[in-house]
Chains A and B, each alone.
Chain A
Amino acid sequence: MPFIYFSFVVLAVSVVTIPFVNPKLKSIAAVIAVISNAAASLIPAWNALGGLPTEILLQGSPITGLIAIRIDSLSAWFILIINFTSITGVLFGSGYMKSYADRKSNLSLHWILFITFHASMLWVCVLQNSLIFLTAWEVMSISSMLLVIFEHQNTNTLKAGINYLVQMHISVAFLTIGFIWIYFSTSSFDFKAVQEYFLHNPSIWLFILFFIGFAVKSGFVPLHTWLPEAHPAAPSHVSGVMSGVIVKLGIYGILRMVFYLAHDQLLLGEIILSLSIATGLYGILNAAMRFDIKKMPAYSTVENIGIVGIGIGMGLIGSGIENSVLIIFGYGGALLHSLNHSLFKSMLFYSSGSVYQQTHTRDMEKLGGLIHKMPHTAVFYLIAILTAVGLPPFNAFVSEFILYSGFLEGIKSVDTTAVFLMISGIAGLALIGGIAVLTFTKAFGVIFLGSPRSEHTEHAHEVSFVMRLPQYLIIAVIVFIGIFPQFFYDKAISVLISSTATKDFVDFSVADSVIETITMVGRFSMIFIIVSAVLIFIRFKLVKQKPSSIAETWGCGYTAANTRMQYTGKSFSKTLGKLLNFLLKEEKKYIEIRADELHPSKRTHDSVYLDFAESRFVNPAVKRLNHFLNYFQFIQNGKTQQYVLYGIFFIVLIFLGTIFNLF
Chain B
Amino acid sequence: MISFLLIFISSLFFMGILIRTKSLASGRKGPGIMQPMRDIIRLLRKGAVYSRTTSYIFQIAPTVYFASVLAALLVVPFGSRSGFISFNGDFVFFAYVLAMGKFFSIIGALDTGSSFEGMGASREALFSMFAEPAFFILMGSFSLLTGFTSFHDIFSSLHLASHFAPGAELTRETYLSYVLAVLATFVLVMIAMTENSRMPVDDPNTHLELTMIHEVMILDNSGFDLGLILYTTSLKFAMYGALIANFFLDGMALPFGIMLFFVVQFLFAVSAGLIESFMARFRMGHNPQFIFILSSVSLLIFFAVLLLTGKFV
Contacts and interface: CB of A to CB of B under 8 A. Distances in A.
B181 interface: no
B53 A546 contact: no
A556 interface: yes
Interface stretch (B2-10, B14-22, B84-92): B84-92
B223 A543 contact: yes
Contacts of A536: 60, 63-64, 67
Given A407-B140, A419-B306, A542-B224, A368 B113 contact: yes
B55 interface: yes
A539 interface: yes
A355 to B, nearest CB: 16
Nearest to B149: A408
B178 interface: no
A485 interface: no
Categorize the interface residue count of chain B. Answer: 35 or more
A528 B133 CA distance: 24
B49 to A, nearest CB: 5
Nearest to B120: A567
A411 B144 contact: yes
Nearest to A375: B55
A401 B118 contact: no
Nearest to B75: A524
B311 to A, nearest CB: 6
B67 A572 contact: no
B100 interface: yes
Given A434-B130, A567-B115, A411 B143 contact: yes
B111 A548 contact: no
B224 A389 contact: no
Interface string B18-54: 0000000000000000000000000001111111111
Contact of B106 (A412, A435, A445, A579): A445
Contacts of B116: 556
Contact of B140 (A411, A434, A445, A546): A411
A404 B89 contact: yes
B114 A553 contact: yes
Contact of B110 (A397, A400, A449): A449
Q: Which of B49, B97, B103 has the most CB of A within 10 A?
A: B103
Interface stretch (B121-129, B245-253, B269-277): B121-129
Interface of B: prevailing SS: helix
Interface string B130-147: 111101110011011001
B112 A450 contact: yes
A413 to B, nearest CB: 9
A427 interface: yes
Given A390-B96, A542-B224, A369 B147 contact: no
Q: Which of A427, A438, A535, A561 has the most CB of B within 10 A?
A: A427
Contacts of A117: none
A416 interface: yes
B302 interface: yes
A539 B61 CA distance: 11
B118 A566 contact: yes
Contacts of A409: 149
B173 interface: no
Given A408-B89, A437-B129, A553-B113, A547 B47 contact: yes
A414 B288 CA distance: 34
B71 A524 contact: yes
A103 B155 CA distance: 66
A390 B99 CA distance: 10
A400 B115 CA distance: 34
A358 B154 CA distance: 52
B224 to A, nearest CB: 5
A556 B113 CA distance: 13
Interface string B276-306: 0000000000001000000100010010001
Nearest to A407: B140
A528 B63 contact: no
A561 to B, nearest CB: 7
A527 B106 CA distance: 23
Nearest to A576: B126
Contacts of A411: 140, 143-144
Given A517-B87, A553-B52, A553-B113, A573 B118 contact: no
Categorize the interface residue count of chain A. Answer: 35 or more
Interface in A530-571: 531-532, 535-536, 539-540, 542-543, 546-556, 561, 563, 565-567, 571
A423 interface: yes
Contact of A571 (B96, B122, B130, B135): B122
B223 A391 contact: no
A405 B223 CA distance: 41
A553 B52 CA distance: 7
A575 B143 contact: no
A372 interface: yes
Given A566-B113, A567-B110, A554 B219 contact: yes
A430 B133 contact: yes
A523 B85 CA distance: 10
A521 interface: yes
A408 B139 CA distance: 9
A438 B125 contact: yes
Listed from nearest, the 7 A-B pairs whose CB atoms lie closest are A567-B118, A445-B110, A434-B129, A450-B113, A547-B47, A520-B87, A427-B133
29 contacts: A371-B57, A392-B97, A408-B143, A423-B137, A426-B133, A433-B132, A434-B133, A437-B102, A445-B111, A445-B121, A449-B113, A450-B112, A520-B85, A524-B87, A524-B90, A528-B68, A532-B64, A532-B68, A535-B63, A535-B66, A542-B224, A546-B46, A549-B47, A549-B49, A552-B52, A554-B51, A566-B118, A572-B118, A572-B121
Interface of B: 45-55, 57, 59-60, 63-64, 66-68, 70-71, 74, 85, 87-90, 92-93, 95-97, 99-100, 102-103, 106-107, 110-119, 121-123, 125-126, 128-133, 135-137, 140-141, 143-144, 147, 149, 209, 219-220, 223-224, 228, 288, 295, 299, 302, 306, 311-312
Given A408-B89, A408-B149, A535-B63, 11 more contacts: A391-B99, A401-B89, A419-B306, A423-B302, A437-B129, A524-B90, A528-B71, A539-B60, A551-B49, A567-B121, A571-B119
